Chains A and B, each alone.
Chain A
Amino acid sequence: MRAFTYERATDPVAAARIVAGKPGAKFIAGGTNLLDLMKIEVETPTHLVDVQDLDLDKIEQTPEGGLRIGALVSNTDLAADERVRRDYGVLTRSIVAGASGQLRNKASTAGNLLQRTRCPYFYDINMPCNKRKPGSGCAAIGGYSRQLGLIGVSDKCIATFPGDMAVGLRVLDAVIETIDPQGERRSIPIADFHRLWGDRPEQDTVLRPGELITHVTLPRPLGGKHFYEKVRDRASYAFALVSVAAVIQPDGTGRVAFGGVAPRPWRVEEAEALVPQGAAAVTARAFQGATPTKDNAFKLPLATRALASVIAQAKA
C-alpha cells in the first residue's frame, strides 16, 4: 500500500471538487473493495475523500411511487428495508446473495455499483492488464479465464463486472443520480452506467472525474415473482459463475438480466420478450455474438439452465 492523505467530506459538491481537482484522489465510502486493492497496489490513490458523513443514508418514497435510495445506505439496510423486501424482492435477493454479512454491513449502495472486476490477472500487479495498466496487454486472454466474460468483452479485456446488486437493479430499471463539481445533477439509467470495455477497459463506468453518486432511484414496483438465481462453486461468499435476476409476471412474460458474463449486468430487451417461449429462446438471443473462451464456454449452457430453473420455479 502506498502512502496517501485522507479527509472527510461534509458536502457532496465540495467532495466532488476535491476529487476532480486533485490527480490521484478518490472517493471512499465502505472501502470494502478499495482498501483490498490498495493493499496489493492495484489501486494507488494519493488522496482519499471519505464521503461517509454525507447525508445520503436514507431510503425515501418518490412522488412516482418508487424509492430513492441514498448512496450511503448499507447493503444490509437496503436488503432489509420492508418496502424493498415487499416490492423489489429481486433487489433484496441479489444483495444477500453477495459477499458476507460483515461486508454487507460496511458496503454502500454506490460503492457496490463501483466495485472492480475480480479477474485474477487484474489482481496481480506482475501480470499485464489493460484495465490496471492501459496498453500493457491482457494476460487473461489465453490464460485462466473460467470466471471471466463472454459477451460485451473486447480483445483488450475479458473481465466481468462481478456484482450482484446491480444485476437486480438492472431488471428494475434503476436510475443512478450523480452530482458533479459544478453542482450539476445527472440521472443515468443503469443500462448506460457500466461501460463495455472496447478500447478503454480502464474506464469501468460513464462517471466523469469527480462525479459523485448521490442516489439510486427505483421506478414504481413491477409486481410479478422475483428471483435471483446465483450459481457458484460454494454455497456462500463467492462470485457468480452465472447469475439470473428475473421478474416473471403471471402471464408468463418477464424481465431477465444475467450477471457474471459481461462488463455490465447483461439484459437484452428483445431477448426477454422471448421468456414465454422458454429459456433457450431467451439466451440464444441474449448471447448472440458471444465470444467464450475454452474455460468459460460452459457459462452459455449454464445461463440457459439457470434461467430454465427460474422459469420452472415461477410456474410452480
Chain B
Amino acid sequence: MKFEQAEGTNPIDRLKVIGRAHDRIDGPLKTSGLAPYAYEHHDIENVAYGAIVGSSVAKGRITRIDTAAAKAAPGVITIVTAAEAGKLGKGKNNTAKLLAGPEVEHYHQAVAVVVAETFEQARAAASLVRVDYAREKGRYDLTEQLKVAPLVGGSGGPNSGAPPVERVGKFEEAFAAAPVKLDAEYHTPDHSHAMMEPHASVAAWNGDELTLWTSNQMIAWSKRDVALTLNMPEDKVRLISPYIGGGFGGKLFVRADALMAALGAKAAKRPVKVALPRPFIANNTTHRPATHQRIRIGAMKDGTITAIAHESGSGDLPDGGPETAVQQTKLLYAGANRMTAMRLAVLDLPEGNAMRAPGEAPGMMALEIAMDEMAERLGMDPVEFRIKNDTQVDPEKPERKFSERQLIRCLNEGADKFGWNRRNAKPAQVHDGQWLVGMGVAAAFRNHINTTSGARVRLSRDGIVTVETDMTDIGTGTYTIIAQTAGEMMGVPAEAVVVKLGDSSFPASAGSGGQWGAANSTAGVYAACAKLREQVAQRLGYNSADAVFEAGQVKSGNRSAALRDAASAGELVVEDKIEFGDLEKKHQLSTFGAHFVEVGVNAYTGVTRIRRMLAVCAAGRILNPKSARSQVIGAMTMGAGAALMEELAVDKRFGFFVNHDLASYEVPVHADIPHQEVVFLDEADEYANPMKAKGVGELGICGVGAAVANAIYNATGVRVRDYPITLEKHLEKLPAVA
C-alpha cells in the first residue's frame, strides 16, 4: 500500500479497539518471567558460554595474545581472537570493528571470546588471556579536538544530504542589528543508554545457517550487518528478538555479543551464549556523544526573532558521524535570518551513535535554555516568547507547511494546568524552608519519520487473526498496539489477535528507533489487514467496499457472516507493506509538546530535587494512551537524569569512560521522580499515515533537561549552561549561609 495523499476516513477512525488504553498483552508473560529474553532461551540444547575479553587500552596495536593458560583452564572449549576469526567484514551501521586485531580502536573493544562449559568457567578463563599492546597516542579531549575539527553536513540526519552550513537570509547582519540578543555556549556530556538488559545473544549454526537469539531493535538492519560482518549471504542468517529489556538506541545495531557468540559457536561447533557484563556497556557499545553548542538569537523589542543561529560540535571515531544537535533549530521557531552548522572532531573514545532522540535531545537541552535567557532579556514571559515566534511553515522552506502543529496549544494548556501564573518571574524569590523553589518551561519537538514497514496477517479456520512482522517491542507496547490495530481492522477484540514479533523470517518492518516504530509498524499492519479484508469479502462474496467488520462478524448490506467463515476452506494469508510517496516534500511531519517543571534547590547544599513535572504532547493519534503515557513518563525520567546527574566521565589520559557501572553512572531512582502528569492533545494527522499517528516515545525527552535547567535558574538566579547541573556548578554563587 502506498501512502500518497492525505488520508480520508478509514476503519481505524472507529476507535473501538485502537486509540484506547489497553493493558499490555505481553504484561502477564513479563511479570511472571515467562517472556524469554535473549539470554533466557533455556530450551536450546548443548549450550556453551562465551566471555569476552575487552581491550585494556584505548588505542594501539595488539602485539601478542597468549591464550595458553586460558586454554588449559577448567571447562574451556575454544578461544577465538581475530587470528582465528579470519577475515571479517563490517556492518554498515558499525563505525569501529566489533573484534579488535591487530589494531585497537577503543577501550573495551572485544579482543577475544573464551568459550567454556559453564558461564563461571568462561569468565574465570577470560581473565587468563594475556594480551600485549603497543599503546598509541589517542585523541580524547573534545575541547581540544574541536579546535581543528572540520565542518560537516547532515544536520537533518545521517542521510539528509544537508550541507555543512545552512543559511536563510543574512544571519550576521540581522544579528548585529538586533536590539536584543544572546550569544551563549552550552555543553552536554556523553550519555550511556544504561538499559536494564545488557546486550546478549545466543548463536547456533546449522551447517552454513546461523540463528541468533538476540536483543536487537532493528532486525532487518542487523540481519544485513551480521551477514556483512561474517561475509555470508543474508538469507543464511536468522535473527530472533521477541523481547528486549530496553535499548534506547543502544541496540539499533549488531554489537560484540552477537558477533562473538556467532564466532564462538562456529569454533565450538555448538550453540554459544554471550552477554556483555555491565562494566562493558559504557565502553564496548555506543553512547550519545557530548556536544559543545553555541546559540545566537537576535530579536526586536517586541520579541520577534529576527536572527537565529545554532552551531554544534561533537566527536566520534574516524568515519563516524556528528550528533545532529542543530536539527530542531531549523524548524522550531520563526525568524527571517538563520544559520546552522556542525563540526565533527575525531576522537578515539568508544563509538558515538544514536540514543533516544539523537540530535534533538541534546539540541533542545541547549536551545530551550537559550529561549529562556532571551525571554528574560526581553522582559517577556517564556511561554509568551515561544508563542510569539511560532511558525506554521518550515522556516527554511515556507512553501512547506507543518501537517499539524499545536505547539501554542501545548504551551497554553500546560501553563493553565501547571499553575504557571503562580511563577515569580524574578528568580530566587520563593523559599520553602531551606529550599529555593522555581518553575521552568521548555518546548518539546521531535521530527516524525516515515519509513516502509511490512506485515503478514493470517486468518485461521477458527477465526484467529495472527500478525507476523519483524517489528520489535523494546518495552514500548508494540505487541499491544499491533493487536489493537489488527483488532480494529478485522472487527475483533485485541485479545483475539496473536502477535508474533522480532523474527527475521517475518516481513521486514520499520523496527524500533527514532520514535518511528509505533506509527509505521501499525501502518504496515493496517496495509496487510486492508488486503485481508478484501480477501475475506471476496471469499464471502461481499463487495469489499461496503463490508463492515465488527464483533467477529462481517456485514454487507443486510447480509452477515462470521469472520471465520471466510477461512472455512483454509487459512487466509496476506502480506503487504506501507510505503510512502512524496507527501513529505510538501508537508513537514513533526511532533510537539511543552514541558513544565518545578524544582527545589537546597539553599545550603545546592542539591536539586524535582517537585512536579507536566508534559503536554501533540503527536498525532495516540494509539494507546496508557502505553503512550508510559513512554512519555519514561522519557521525562531520562530527561531528568540528563538534567541532573547523567554523565560519562572521560579520562583524557587513558581514553575511556571511567564511571562504567550503574553505581557510578547515576540514572534517576524512584526517589528522584515526583508526580508526573502527561496530557495528549486530541489530534489525528491525516498527512502522516493511515493510522494518522506519529511518534511520541522520544518527544517526551526533548526539552525536559532545559525545563529543569530553567526551573533551577528561576529558583536560584544562577544560570548553568553545562549539563548535568550538579551542585558544584552553582554552589558558590548561591546566597551565603555560613
Residues of A that sit less than 8 Å from B by CB: 1-3, 39-41, 118, 120-121, 123-124, 126-127, 139, 142-144, 146-147, 229, 231-239, 241, 278-280, 298, 301-302, 304-309, 311-313
Contact = CB atoms under 8 A, between A and B. Distances in A.
B69 to A, nearest CB: 13
Interface of B: 56-57, 74, 120, 123-124, 127, 277, 279, 434, 602, 604-607, 609, 644-645, 649-651, 653-654, 658-661, 663-664, 666, 668-672, 724, 726-728, 731-732, 737-738
A36 B147 CA distance: 41
Given A120-B664, A231-B605, A234-B666, 9 more contacts: A127-B654, A231-B607, A236-B669, A236-B671, A237-B671, A239-B663, A305-B606, A306-B605, A312-B434
Contacts of A231: 605, 607, 727
Contacts of A308: 604, 737-738
Given A144-B659, A236-B671, A301-B731, A309 B645 contact: no
28 contacts: A1-B123, A3-B74, A3-B124, A40-B279, A120-B658, A123-B664, A124-B279, A127-B654, A139-B651, A142-B653, A143-B653, A144-B658, A146-B649, A229-B605, A231-B607, A232-B607, A233-B666, A235-B671, A235-B672, A237-B671, A238-B666, A298-B727, A298-B728, A302-B728, A309-B604, A312-B434, A312-B604, A312-B737
B738 A233 contact: no
Contacts of A1: 120, 123-124
B57 to A, nearest CB: 8
A1 B644 CA distance: 34
A88 to B, nearest CB: 24
Contacts of B732: 298, 301
B715 to A, nearest CB: 16
Contacts, number: 114
Contacts of A312: 434, 604, 737
Contacts of B724: 233
B737 A305 contact: yes
Contacts of B650: 144
Contact of A236 (B645, B653, B670, B728): B670
A79 B668 CA distance: 25
A138 B232 CA distance: 47
Contacts of B606: 302, 305
A142 B652 CA distance: 10
Contacts of A238: 666
A307 B672 contact: no
A126 B56 contact: yes
Contacts of A309: 434, 602, 604-605, 737
Contacts of A298: 727-728, 731-732
Contacts of A278: 738
Contacts of A304: 738
Nearest to A2: B124
A236 B609 CA distance: 11
A305 B738 contact: yes
Contacts of A3: 74, 120, 124
Contacts of B661: 123
A126 B668 CA distance: 28
Central interface residue in A126, A229, A278, A305, by most chain B CB within 10 Å = A305
Point out which of A120, A278, A307 has the most chain B C-beta atoms below 10 A from its C-beta: A120
A190 B654 CA distance: 37
B18 to A, nearest CB: 38
Given A231-B607, A234-B671, A236-B671, A305 B658 contact: no
Contact of B664 (A118, A139, A143, A236): A118
Nearest to B728: A298
Contact of B127 (A41, A147, A307): A41
B290 to A, nearest CB: 14
Contacts of B671: 234-237
A237 B672 CA distance: 10
B731 A302 contact: yes
B658 A121 contact: yes
A126 B55 CA distance: 9
Contacts of B124: 1-3
A185 B127 CA distance: 40
A238 B124 CA distance: 29
B644 A234 contact: yes
Contacts of A313: 434
B120 A235 contact: no
Contacts of B127: 2, 41
A235 B649 contact: no
Contact of B738 (A118, A127, A280): A280
Contact of B645 (A2, A234, A306): A234
A160 to B, nearest CB: 13
Of B127, B277, B650, B664, most buried by chain A (CB within 10 Å of CB) is: B664
Given A233-B645, A234-B671, A298-B728, A143 B651 contact: yes
A279 B670 contact: no
B604 A305 contact: yes
A298 B724 CA distance: 15
B528 to A, nearest CB: 45
A171 B221 CA distance: 60
A233 B607 CA distance: 7
A120 B651 CA distance: 11
